[in-house]
């Protein structure tokens, strides 16, 4: 029976026979003995395979090269060398797949840009193995957090006819032959002949449908892919990313903030409790303050700050920002990071934004100028969560939909939730990859998702 390396490294070495399979990271040695570092992806740690050259098949060993895949049968013994508790004394080696010198991941430091170009191979590196194991652990932690709190996992559609707020440009979904698109008499695209008999796109957010879940099951969360055709070539934007969107009946903005804070801290603590090998590797290789920063977030209390107060702090900072910032403007990343990294030195939840820069569905404050929005701002990342208490009043919602010239033909069902049995409710969206940027310390969002989708890039 094949044993995973993560389990093998925990076994007591008593000379027992084991079968271990994986990819060769390195091979070194001399004419008497060869040392093979084998990794199977179960852990950042390799198992050392020791080959006695006197008994070895030299021709076969020549094909044991970096990147080749092996099955090794041998005895598990205590390791005499430093750096590992146990090692395998090889009795038999079978080569599953050779890797010649053209294999791109030869042992040397590769740039992240180069590794992005070979995204189909990069999970075999230590760095991406660590990142993607953490990605899995965070996905699991998220489901566990919500399940333990009595939330229901609610699946919202990926194909939608409603533009949630114009959060970003949308990708069209159509089965038309684009070289021969049916037109109406006025020369417009005739969507009535399309697959859904209407214009449809990939979703930019599951929130509107999430609210339907909250107003029936009480507390739900979504966790799925989200698509934005925004041409923003930043280290924090993807065209396809994963979002977690909890939506809760009977939560006001205070409750919403408390949940967001508890949620993020839970995820970060989960990583500290369960991913320490990988975090330690990333900490040592890329970001010496990573683990300290993670602990800091778990231990501190997030600041709650009014947008208006935030603007005051920014304008009195004496700092010259690239984009000047006055009341009414949307904060840029530089402003968010000033507040978080320099002024407060901890995460900030900014609330009560001007209504003009926020979405139509946010609850309007009494002042007539602001809405009960909240953005959670994080060190290194800027915005990690966007959320709000939702407008529960039919008339107010109806008016703002009209004022903004939005389509009631596609939003009628959303309005109906305020017509019958409306309830105070709140929710937020966490960008999964933004959370991963924070937890892994990676600098570019393209490096925390296996197959990034960005402008002009959809390889694999
Ligand atoms: P930003 O201002 O950074 O573009 P946003 O205001 O468009 O964010 P929301 O519409 O509130 O973001 O979406 C909720 C969350 O989804 C954000 O807080 C962020 O974590 C994440 N997010 C938004 N756009 C992207 C993107 N293009 N790629 C990855 N994550 C994103
Ligand atoms: Mg955006």
Spatial contact of 61 and 98, defined as CB atoms under 8 Å apart: no
Q: Distance from the CA of 167 to the center of ligand 2, in angstroms?
A: 6
For residue range 202-227, list pLDDT tens digits in order: 999 999 999 999 999 999 999 999 99
Q: Which of 102-111, 256-265, 403-412 has the highest mean pLDDT?
A: 256-265
- The ligand whose atoms approach the alpha carbon of 435 most closely is 1
Element (H, E) at 93: strand 86-97
Please name the helix (run of DSSP H) or strand (run of DSSP E) that holds residue 224, with its range, or none: strand 219-227
pLDDT at 456 over 80: yes
Mean pLDDT along residues 65-88? 93
Contact 429 CB / ligand 1 (< 6 Å): yes
pLDDT digits (tens, 9 = 90+) for 356-393: 999 999 999 999 999 999 999 999 999 999 999 999 99
Q: List Cα–Cα distances, 326 to 179, 305, 315, 357, 371, in angstroms.
A: 47, 16, 7, 13, 17
Any ligand 1 atom below 6 A from CB of 425: no
> CA–CA separation, 105 vs 100, rounded Å?
11
- Nearest atom in ligand 1 to the alpha carbon of residue 375 is 18
Q: Give the C-alpha separation, 301 to 349, whole Å.
A: 10
Helix (H) or strand (E) run with residue 382 in it: strand 382-389
The pLDDT of residue 409 is: 84
288-300 mean pLDDT = 97
Q: What is the mean pLDDT of residues 69-78?
A: 98
Rounded Cα–Cα distance for residues 242 and 437 (Å): 13
Per-residue model confidence as pLDDT tens digits over 75-85: 999 998 777 89
**Residue owning the nearest CA to atom 29 of ligand 1:** 237
Assess whether pLDDT exceeds 90 at residue 236. Answer: yes
Q: What is the mean pLDDT of residues 399-405?
A: 93
CA-based torsion, 104, 105, 106, 109: positive or negative: positive
- What is residue 166's predicted lDDT score, i.e. its pLDDT? 58
pTM of the model as a whole: 0.96
**What gap in Å lies between CA 331 and CA 311, rounded to an integer?**
9
Q: What is the pLDDT of residue 154?
A: 98
For residue 168, the CA-to-ligand 2 centroid distance in Å is: 6
- Mean pLDDT of the chain, nearest integer: 95
Q: Is the pLDDT of residue 33 over 70?
A: yes
What is the pLDDT, as a whole number, of residue 163? 62
In this structure, of 160-164, 338-342, 368-372, the range with the lowest mean pLDDT score is 160-164
pLDDT in tens, 310-319: 999 999 999 9
User: Closest ligand 1 atom, CA of 386?
Assistant: 11
- Asked if residues 225 and 158 have their Cβ atoms less than 8 Å apart, the reply is yes
> Above 70 in pLDDT, residue 167?
no
* Ligand 1 binding pocket includes 241 (Cβ within 6 Å): yes
206 pocket-lining for ligand 1 (C-beta < 6 Å): no
């Amino acid at each position: 029976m094949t044993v995973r390396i993560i389990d093998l490294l925990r076994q007591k070495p008593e000379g027992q026979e084991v079968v271990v399979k994986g990819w060769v990271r390195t091979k070194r040695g001399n004419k008497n003995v060869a040392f093979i570092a084998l990794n199977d992806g179960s852990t950042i740690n390799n198992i050392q395979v020791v080959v006695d050259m006197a008994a070895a098949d030299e021709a076969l060993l020549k094909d044991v090269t970096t990147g080749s895949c092996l099955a090794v049968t041998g005895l598990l013994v205590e390791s005499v060398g430093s750096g590992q508790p146990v090692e395998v004394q090889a009795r038999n080696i079978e080569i599953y797949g050779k890797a010649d010198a053209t294999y791109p991941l030869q042992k040397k430091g590769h740039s992240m840009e180069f590794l992005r170009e070979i995204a189909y191979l990069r999970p075999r590196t230590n760095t991406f193995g660590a990142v993607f194991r953490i990605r899995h652990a965070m996905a699991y932690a998220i489901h566990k957090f919500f399940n333990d709190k009595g939330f229901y996992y609610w699946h919202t559609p990926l194909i939608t006819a409603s533009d949630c707020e114009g959060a970003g440009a949308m990708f069209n979904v159509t089965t038309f032959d684009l070289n021969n698109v049916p037109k109406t008499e006025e020369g417009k695209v005739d969507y009535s002949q399309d697959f859904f008999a209407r214009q449809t796109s990939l979703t930019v957010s599951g929130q509107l449908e999430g609210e339907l879940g909250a107003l029936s099951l009480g507390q739900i969360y979504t966790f799925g892919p989200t698509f934005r055709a925004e041409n923003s070539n930043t280290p924090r934007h993807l065209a396809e990313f994963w979002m977690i969107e909890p939506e809760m009946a009977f939560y006001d903005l205070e409750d919403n903030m408390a949940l967001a804070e508890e949620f993020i801290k839970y995820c970060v603590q989960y990583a500290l409790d369960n991913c320490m090998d990988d975090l330690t590797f990333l900490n040592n290789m890329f970001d010496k303050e990573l683990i300290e920063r993670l602990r800091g977030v778990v231990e501190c209390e997030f600041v709650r700050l009014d947008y208006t107060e935030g603007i005051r702090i920014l304008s009195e900072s004496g700092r010259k920002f690239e984009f000047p910032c006055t009341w009414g403007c949307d904060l840029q990343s530089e402003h968010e990071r000033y507040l978080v990294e320099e002024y407060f030195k901890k995460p900030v939840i900014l609330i009560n934004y001007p209504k003009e820069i926020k979405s139509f569905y946010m609850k309007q404050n009494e002042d007539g100028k602001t809405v009960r929005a909240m953005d959670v701002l994080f060190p290194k990342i800027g915005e990690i969560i966007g959320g709000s208490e939702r407008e529960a009043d039919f008339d107010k919602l109806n008016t703002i939909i009209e004022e903004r010239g939005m389509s009631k033909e596609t939003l009628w069902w959303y309005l109906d939730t305020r017509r019958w049995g409306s309830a105070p409710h709140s929710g937020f969206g966490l960008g999964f990859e933004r959370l991963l940027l924070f937890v892994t310390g990676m600098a570019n969002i393209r490096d925390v998702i296996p197959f990034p989708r960005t402008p002009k890039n959809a390889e694999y």
